Structure 1
Amino acid sequence: MSTIRINRTHSLNESGCHEALEDLTAYLQEEFAAKVTRQDGTLSFSGSGFAGEVCVEPGRASGKIKLGLLARPFRRTLENEINRHLDARFGTG
């Protein structure tokens, strides 16, 4: 499997992290029809050809997304879209 890794710093407080996770949940469900579960500051998700986990806590966001065989050709596009979305949410872009 190909893996996209996420490691960022940000200035969101606990409330901002909660909002970021809510936003990411909606984004994954609407754009990728992903099944998403949340436990505290961690989202676990899966969809057609991918599965992953993202943790957002004050000051830091990390995670990884594993791409199946059919999603691998779109790795660069997916990674760029993920980074664009995170930059918009964390105000780093």
Structure 2
Amino acid sequence: MADININQAHSLSPAKAREAAQKVADKMARDYQLDCQWDENVLRFERSGVHGALTLGEQRADMVIRLGFLMSAFSATIEAKVAENMRKVFGAT
């Protein structure tokens, strides 16, 4: 198993941060066929071989992605794509 940890600072309101997180989730769902579900300020996602969560804080968003054996071969590509998407939607601060 491979773990990916991505931390993105932001200066968004809680509502705007949730909108940004939903954009990240929507793109991940399309790209990797993930099922996503909110649990308060945590967006959980999963599919066979992948699961994780995007946790919203006041000034940062923290994502943890756990990849199974087969998906771990793509960890660098997945991390780069997701990190870039998070930078775009949360904005660099």
> Do these two structures clear the TM 0.5 threshold for a shared fold by scoring above it?
yes
Secondary structure (helix, strand or coil) at the match of 1:72 reads helix
CA offset digits 1:29-77 (Å, max 9, x no partner): 2221111110121111112321101112321111311011111111111
Give the Cα separation in 1 of the matches to 2:10 and 2:17. Answer: 10
- Which runs of 5 or more residues in structure 2 are unaligned? none
**Structure 1's 90 and 21: CA in aligned 2 closer, same or farther, altered over 3 A?**
closer
Identical columns (%):
27
> Contact 2:8 / 2:90 at 8 angstroms: preserved in 1?
no
**Is 1:25 the equivalent of 2:33?**
no
Query: How far off is 1:25 after superposition?
Result: 2.7
- Which runs of 5 or more residues in structure 1 are unaligned? none
**1:4 aligned residue:** 4
> Contact 1:21 / 1:41 at 8 angstroms: preserved in 2?
no
Worse-superposed segment, 72-81 or 22-31 = 22-31
**Aligned structure 1 segments of 4 or more residues deviating by more than 2 angstroms:** none
Query: How far off is 1:91 after superposition?
Result: 1.6
Give the Cα separation in 2 of the matches to 1:63 and 1:25. Answer: 11
